[in-house]
Structure 1
Amino acid sequence: MDELIVKDCNGNILKDGDSVSVIKSLKVKGGGTTIKQGTTVKKIRLTDDPAEVDCKIDGMSIVLRTEFLRKK
């Protein structure tokens, strides 16, 4: 059984519970807010898609693309 490998923008392997930072300001669809560059996101959760991770920012559950994340 193959294990899902998820990588950040620099090619570092991400795992459940890792902390990452956002490398670009992102507008949240439907939320009307913006996630600022440099925001630290703790305790990410991997999804079935290797290009996306699930996380909570300011109490909102959000799915972020790994191309905009850097492992801390």
Structure 2
Amino acid sequence: MAKDSNGTELNAGDSVSVIKDLKVKGASTTLKRGTTIKNIKLTNKDGEIEAKVDKFGTLVLKTEFLKKI
């Protein structure tokens, strides 16, 4: 069961917000704090989700840096 930084359960299709600027491997720019990510997908690992982000394509993000909207 994936949980966000506040301990709220995340489900497939939820929208989340990034709570901290994150460096993205292989990209020259960062994923900025406050970025909204819609329609997340859960992975096999509890602490990770998969999401499509406009500038970066598909990313795997750690849930500790996300907040459910």
TM-score when scaled to structure 1? 0.91
Q: Matches of residues 57-68 of structure 1 in structure 2 within 5 Å?
A: 57-58=53-54, 60-68=57-65
For the pair shown, the structure with the greater C-alpha radius of gyration is 1
Which of residues 7, 10, 13 in structure 2 aligns to 1:14? 10
Provide structure 1 residue ranges, at least 5 long, that are not aligned to the other structure. Answer: none
Deviation per CA, 1:24-66, whole angstroms, max 9, x where unpaired?
Answer: 0001001222110000000000000001000011151000000
Moved over 3 A (4+): none
Q: Does 1:48 align with 2:44?
A: yes
Quote the RMSD (CA, aligned, Å).
Answer: 0.8
TM-score when scaled to structure 2? 0.95
Counting aligned pairs with the same residue, the percent is: 56
Provide structure 2 residue ranges, at least 5 long, that are not aligned to the other structure. Answer: none
Aligned residues: 68
